[in-house]
Amino acid sequence: MTGREVRVLLVDDQELIRTALGMVMADLADVEVIGEAASGEEAVRLTAELAPDVVVMDIRMPGMDGIEATRRITQAETEARVVVLTTFDDDAYVYGALRAGASGFLVKDMALDDIIAAVRVVAAGDALIAPSVTRRLIHDFAARPEPAGGRRELKGITDREREVLTLVGSGLSNAEIATELCISVATAKTYLTRLLTKLDARDRVQLVITAYEAGLVSVPGGRGA
Protein backbone atom coordinates (compact mmCIF):
# COMPACT_ATOMS: atom_id res chain seq x y z
CA MET A 1 0.00 0.00 0.00
CA THR A 2 3.03 2.27 -0.14
CA GLY A 3 2.37 5.54 -1.91
CA ARG A 4 -1.40 5.71 -1.44
CA GLU A 5 -4.07 5.52 1.18
CA VAL A 6 -5.46 2.25 2.48
CA ARG A 7 -9.10 2.19 1.36
CA VAL A 8 -11.32 0.76 4.10
CA LEU A 9 -14.92 -0.44 4.19
CA LEU A 10 -16.45 -0.61 7.69
CA VAL A 11 -19.07 -3.32 8.26
CA ASP A 12 -21.03 -3.49 11.53
CA ASP A 13 -24.73 -3.40 12.33
CA GLN A 14 -23.96 -1.05 15.23
CA GLU A 15 -23.69 2.49 13.95
CA LEU A 16 -21.76 3.51 17.07
CA ILE A 17 -18.93 1.13 16.21
CA ARG A 18 -18.76 2.34 12.61
CA THR A 19 -18.81 5.97 13.74
CA ALA A 20 -16.06 5.50 16.32
CA LEU A 21 -13.75 3.76 13.86
CA GLY A 22 -14.58 6.21 11.13
CA MET A 23 -13.77 9.22 13.31
CA VAL A 24 -10.36 7.82 14.23
CA MET A 25 -9.51 6.86 10.66
CA ALA A 26 -10.59 10.27 9.36
CA ASP A 27 -7.58 11.84 11.08
CA LEU A 28 -5.09 9.49 9.44
CA ALA A 29 -3.09 10.50 6.40
CA ASP A 30 -2.71 6.96 5.07
CA VAL A 31 -6.20 5.52 5.67
CA GLU A 32 -9.48 6.45 4.00
CA VAL A 33 -12.92 5.12 4.89
CA ILE A 34 -14.66 4.79 1.54
CA GLY A 35 -17.91 3.29 2.75
CA GLU A 36 -19.95 1.73 5.54
CA ALA A 37 -22.28 -1.27 5.60
CA ALA A 38 -24.71 -2.50 8.24
CA SER A 39 -25.18 -6.04 6.90
CA GLY A 40 -23.37 -8.84 5.12
CA GLU A 41 -25.37 -8.34 1.94
CA GLU A 42 -24.45 -4.67 1.84
CA ALA A 43 -20.80 -5.48 2.56
CA VAL A 44 -20.59 -7.85 -0.43
CA ARG A 45 -22.27 -5.34 -2.72
CA LEU A 46 -20.14 -2.37 -1.62
CA THR A 47 -16.93 -4.38 -1.84
CA ALA A 48 -17.70 -5.12 -5.48
CA GLU A 49 -18.64 -1.50 -6.17
CA LEU A 50 -15.96 0.37 -4.19
CA ALA A 51 -12.98 -2.04 -4.31
CA PRO A 52 -11.63 -1.43 -0.80
CA ASP A 53 -8.22 -2.70 0.23
CA VAL A 54 -9.49 -3.85 3.62
CA VAL A 55 -12.97 -4.74 4.88
CA VAL A 56 -13.36 -4.47 8.66
CA MET A 57 -16.08 -7.05 9.28
CA ASP A 58 -18.36 -7.76 12.21
CA ILE A 59 -19.60 -11.36 12.49
CA ARG A 60 -23.00 -11.20 14.11
CA MET A 61 -25.36 -9.21 11.94
CA PRO A 62 -28.99 -9.69 10.89
CA GLY A 63 -29.50 -11.44 7.55
CA MET A 64 -26.22 -12.54 6.00
CA ASP A 65 -23.65 -12.80 8.78
CA GLY A 66 -20.01 -11.83 8.60
CA ILE A 67 -18.82 -15.36 7.91
CA GLU A 68 -20.82 -15.75 4.72
CA ALA A 69 -20.00 -12.19 3.66
CA THR A 70 -16.30 -12.89 4.22
CA ARG A 71 -16.50 -16.09 2.18
CA ARG A 72 -18.19 -14.33 -0.75
CA ILE A 73 -15.73 -11.45 -0.68
CA THR A 74 -12.60 -13.62 -0.54
CA GLN A 75 -13.88 -15.95 -3.26
CA ALA A 76 -14.81 -13.12 -5.61
CA GLU A 77 -12.45 -11.50 -8.09
CA THR A 78 -11.33 -8.81 -5.69
CA GLU A 79 -8.13 -7.83 -3.94
CA ALA A 80 -10.01 -6.91 -0.77
CA ARG A 81 -8.79 -8.53 2.43
CA VAL A 82 -11.07 -9.02 5.42
CA VAL A 83 -10.32 -8.21 9.05
CA VAL A 84 -12.84 -9.69 11.47
CA LEU A 85 -13.60 -7.41 14.40
CA THR A 86 -15.72 -9.11 17.03
CA THR A 87 -16.10 -10.15 20.68
CA PHE A 88 -14.09 -13.32 21.18
CA ASP A 89 -15.49 -14.51 24.49
CA ASP A 90 -19.05 -15.09 23.28
CA ASP A 91 -18.46 -15.60 19.58
CA ALA A 92 -18.73 -19.21 18.43
CA TYR A 93 -18.06 -18.31 14.80
CA VAL A 94 -14.43 -17.20 14.88
CA TYR A 95 -13.07 -20.42 13.39
CA GLY A 96 -15.65 -20.28 10.62
CA ALA A 97 -14.69 -16.72 9.79
CA LEU A 98 -11.01 -17.59 9.47
CA ARG A 99 -11.88 -20.63 7.37
CA ALA A 100 -13.90 -18.31 5.15
CA GLY A 101 -10.72 -16.42 4.30
CA ALA A 102 -10.38 -13.63 6.85
CA SER A 103 -6.83 -12.29 7.05
CA GLY A 104 -7.14 -10.93 10.57
CA PHE A 105 -9.01 -11.46 13.78
CA LEU A 106 -9.37 -8.61 16.26
CA VAL A 107 -11.49 -7.97 19.33
CA LYS A 108 -13.58 -4.87 19.88
CA ASP A 109 -12.02 -4.06 23.24
CA MET A 110 -8.59 -3.61 21.67
CA ALA A 111 -7.14 -0.10 21.66
CA LEU A 112 -8.20 1.79 18.54
CA ASP A 113 -4.54 2.40 17.68
CA ASP A 114 -3.96 -1.37 17.65
CA ILE A 115 -6.96 -1.89 15.36
CA ILE A 116 -5.62 0.76 12.97
CA ALA A 117 -2.18 -0.86 13.03
CA ALA A 118 -3.76 -4.22 12.20
CA VAL A 119 -5.59 -2.72 9.22
CA ARG A 120 -2.26 -1.46 7.90
CA VAL A 121 -0.62 -4.86 8.42
CA VAL A 122 -3.36 -6.68 6.53
CA ALA A 123 -3.39 -4.08 3.75
CA ALA A 124 0.32 -4.70 3.28
CA GLY A 125 -0.40 -8.35 2.56
CA ASP A 126 0.27 -9.93 5.94
CA ALA A 127 -2.17 -11.49 8.38
CA LEU A 128 -2.76 -10.79 12.03
CA ILE A 129 -4.50 -12.35 14.99
CA ALA A 130 -4.78 -10.18 18.10
CA PRO A 131 -1.85 -11.13 20.39
CA SER A 132 -4.12 -11.23 23.42
CA VAL A 133 -6.21 -14.05 21.91
CA THR A 134 -3.80 -15.99 19.68
CA ARG A 135 -3.18 -18.78 22.16
CA ARG A 136 -6.82 -18.79 23.24
CA LEU A 137 -7.72 -19.28 19.60
CA ILE A 138 -5.34 -22.23 19.39
CA HIS A 139 -6.93 -23.57 22.58
CA ASP A 140 -10.30 -23.32 20.85
CA PHE A 141 -8.99 -25.16 17.78
CA ALA A 142 -7.55 -27.93 19.92
CA ALA A 143 -10.79 -28.40 21.84
CA ARG A 144 -12.79 -29.01 18.66
CA PRO A 145 -13.50 -32.48 17.27
CA GLU A 146 -11.05 -33.74 14.69
CA PRO A 147 -12.04 -32.44 11.22
CA ALA A 148 -14.30 -34.69 9.16
CA GLY A 149 -12.24 -37.14 7.15
CA GLY A 150 -9.44 -37.22 9.72
CA ARG A 151 -6.30 -35.17 9.93
CA ARG A 152 -5.07 -33.27 6.91
CA GLU A 153 -2.13 -34.90 5.17
CA LEU A 154 0.79 -32.59 4.50
CA LYS A 155 2.59 -33.37 1.26
CA GLY A 156 5.69 -31.83 -0.21
CA ILE A 157 7.06 -30.07 2.86
CA THR A 158 10.38 -30.78 4.55
CA ASP A 159 10.89 -31.75 8.18
CA ARG A 160 12.16 -28.24 8.90
CA GLU A 161 9.13 -26.68 7.26
CA ARG A 162 6.92 -28.94 9.37
CA GLU A 163 8.72 -27.63 12.47
CA VAL A 164 8.08 -24.06 11.37
CA LEU A 165 4.44 -24.81 10.64
CA THR A 166 4.03 -26.31 14.11
CA LEU A 167 5.45 -23.16 15.70
CA VAL A 168 3.24 -20.94 13.57
CA GLY A 169 0.28 -23.01 14.68
CA SER A 170 1.32 -22.55 18.30
CA GLY A 171 1.05 -18.79 17.88
CA LEU A 172 4.74 -17.87 17.69
CA SER A 173 5.89 -14.77 15.82
CA ASN A 174 8.68 -14.86 13.23
CA ALA A 175 11.16 -13.61 15.83
CA GLU A 176 10.08 -16.29 18.31
CA ILE A 177 10.35 -18.98 15.63
CA ALA A 178 13.86 -17.77 14.80
CA THR A 179 14.87 -17.99 18.45
CA GLU A 180 13.29 -21.42 18.91
CA LEU A 181 15.06 -22.90 15.87
CA CYS A 182 18.30 -20.91 16.21
CA ILE A 183 17.91 -19.31 12.79
CA SER A 184 17.68 -15.72 11.60
CA VAL A 185 14.37 -13.88 11.32
CA ALA A 186 14.99 -13.59 7.57
CA THR A 187 15.34 -17.37 7.33
CA ALA A 188 12.14 -17.84 9.33
CA LYS A 189 10.34 -15.56 6.88
CA THR A 190 11.73 -17.60 3.97
CA TYR A 191 10.33 -20.81 5.46
CA LEU A 192 6.99 -19.09 5.97
CA THR A 193 6.91 -17.98 2.34
CA ARG A 194 7.67 -21.53 1.17
CA LEU A 195 4.88 -22.92 3.34
CA LEU A 196 2.38 -20.42 1.98
CA THR A 197 3.25 -21.52 -1.55
CA LYS A 198 3.43 -25.27 -0.94
CA LEU A 199 0.23 -25.42 1.11
CA ASP A 200 -1.63 -22.96 -1.12
CA ALA A 201 -2.39 -20.82 1.92
CA ARG A 202 -3.58 -17.25 1.57
CA ASP A 203 -1.76 -16.01 4.66
CA ARG A 204 -0.49 -16.81 8.14
CA VAL A 205 -3.98 -17.34 9.51
CA GLN A 206 -4.58 -20.19 7.08
CA LEU A 207 -1.26 -21.74 8.10
CA VAL A 208 -2.49 -21.76 11.71
CA ILE A 209 -5.64 -23.57 10.59
CA THR A 210 -3.60 -26.04 8.52
CA ALA A 211 -1.38 -26.81 11.52
CA TYR A 212 -4.48 -27.56 13.57
CA GLU A 213 -6.09 -29.71 10.87
CA ALA A 214 -2.86 -31.69 10.39
CA GLY A 215 -2.69 -32.44 14.10
CA LEU A 216 0.52 -30.48 14.66
CA VAL A 217 -1.20 -28.49 17.40
CA SER A 218 -3.03 -31.11 19.39
CA VAL A 219 -3.13 -29.60 22.88
CA PRO A 220 -3.69 -26.01 24.08
CA GLY A 221 -0.47 -24.12 23.43
CA GLY A 222 1.19 -27.39 22.42
CA ARG A 223 3.92 -27.88 19.87
CA GLY A 224 2.39 -30.69 17.91
CA ALA A 225 1.80 -34.41 17.88
- Angstrom CA distances, 53 to 2, 9, 105, stand at 12, 8, 16
CATH code assigned to 145-213: 1.10.10.10
Burial of 120-131, coded b for 16+ CB within 10 Å and e otherwise, reads: bbbbeeebbbbe
Q: What is the pLDDT of residue 93?
A: 66
pLDDT in tens, 144-192: 665 555 567 788 899 999 999 999 887 787 888 999 999 998 899 899 8
pLDDT in tens, 7-59: 999 999 999 989 989 998 988 889 999 999 999 999 999 999 999 999 999 98
Confidence of residue 109 (pLDDT cuts 50, 70, 90): confident
The predicted model gives 128-140 an average pLDDT of 59
Q: What is the pLDDT of residue 42?
A: 97
Confidence of residue 224 (pLDDT cuts 50, 70, 90): very low
Would you say the CATH fold of 145-213 matches that of 6-132? no
Phi, psi (deg, nearest 5) at residue 204: -60, -35
pLDDT at 4 over 80: no
Q: Between 193 and 148, whose confidence is greater?
A: 193
pLDDT in tens, 46-99: 999 999 999 999 988 989 999 999 999 999 878 899 998 877 554 566 677 777
CATH fourth-level superfamily of 6-132: Response regulator (3.40.50.2300)
pLDDT at 205 over 80: no
Delimit the domains of the chain by residue range.
6-132, 145-213
Q: What order of strands is seen across the sheet that includes strand 104-107?
A: 31-37, 6-11, 54-57, 81-86, 104-107, 128-129
Least confident of 87-91, 113-117, 125-129: 87-91
pLDDT at 135 over 60: no
Whole-model pTM: value is 0.68
